[in-house]
């Protein structure tokens, strides 16, 4: 089986041209559109559905910085979220606690302005983290650094999602 990058004729790289990805996705998904298989056998319809599912999964993976970085590590045989590997930067762990406490405080005070600022702060951390991941991939042989950065990115994205869900509840 070809990897997700090959599926879209892209070079395996963290830096993906999202416009090219979108174009390649549209091209691939149109090959297996259900209308094209309406008169085919059940087996061919099923295969087309499986291909469409694979194409959608590949597209979603490569479109997301977090999923793309995780996938690139997996291609190298590295599990970024290996439960046996608990090595994390102490400074980040402390920052994680502070951010969670800040969100809890904002929620308990129902401070919409503070929540908006918090979301901006976390969004900035996500962008900075992605820049660091890009630099680490470009430097090569930075597997442990990338692994830690991917874990941090996952935390920031989950925190950002929680904050945005809270904002949606208040609006």
Are the folds of 4-63 and 90-170 the same? no
| pTM > 0.85: yes or no | yes
Name the band, by pLDDT with cuts 50, 70 and 90, for residue 1: low
Which tokens belong to 136? 């680490």
Q: Which of 111, 113, 127 is nearest to 160 (CA)?
A: 127
Name the band, by pLDDT with cuts 50, 70 and 90, for residue 115: very high
Share of the chain above pLDDT 70, in %: 99
Higher pLDDT among residues 162 and 141, named by residue? 162
Residue extents of the structural domains in the chain: 4-63, 90-170
Q: Which of 14, 48, 41, 16 is nearest to 137 (CA)?
A: 14
Q: Which of 155, 157, 159 is nearest to 81 (CA)?
A: 155
pLDDT value at 167 more than 90: yes
SS3 of 2, please? coil
Which tokens belong to 25? 């996705």
Q: Please state, in angstroms and rounded to a whole number, the distance separating the CA atoms of residues 33 and 139.
A: 40
- The CATH class of 90-170 is mainly alpha
Average pLDDT over residues 1-11: 91
pLDDT value at 11 more than 80: yes
Q: Please state, in angstroms and rounded to a whole number, the distance separating the CA atoms of residues 158 and 164.
A: 10
Q: Please state, in angstroms and rounded to a whole number, the distance separating the CA atoms of residues 23 and 60.
A: 14
Domain 4-63: homologous superfamily in CATH: DnaJ domain (1.10.287.110)
A 10 A CB-CB count for 20 gives 12
């Amino acid at each position: 089986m070809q990897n997700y990058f090959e599926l879209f004729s892209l070079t395996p790289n963290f830096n993906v041209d999202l416009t090219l990805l979108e174009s390649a996705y549209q091209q691939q998904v149109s090959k297996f559109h259900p209308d094209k298989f309406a008169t085919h056998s059940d087996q061919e319809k099923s295969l087309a559905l499986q291909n469409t599912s694979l194409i959608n999964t590949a597209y979603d993976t490569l479109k997301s910085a977090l999923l793309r970085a995780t996938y690139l590590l997996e291609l190298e045989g590295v599990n970024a979220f290996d439960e046996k590997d608990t090595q994390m930067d102490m400074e980040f762990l402390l920052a994680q606690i502070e951010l969670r406490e800040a969100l809890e405080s904002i929620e308990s005070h129902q401070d919409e302005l503070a929540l908006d600022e918090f979301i901006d702060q976390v969004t900035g951390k996500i962008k900075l983290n992605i820049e660091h991941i890009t630099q680490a991939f470009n430097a090569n042989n930075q597997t442990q650094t990338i692994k830690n950065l991917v874990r941090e990115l996952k935390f920031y994205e989950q925190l950002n999602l929680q904050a945005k869900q809270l904002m949606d509840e208040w609006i």
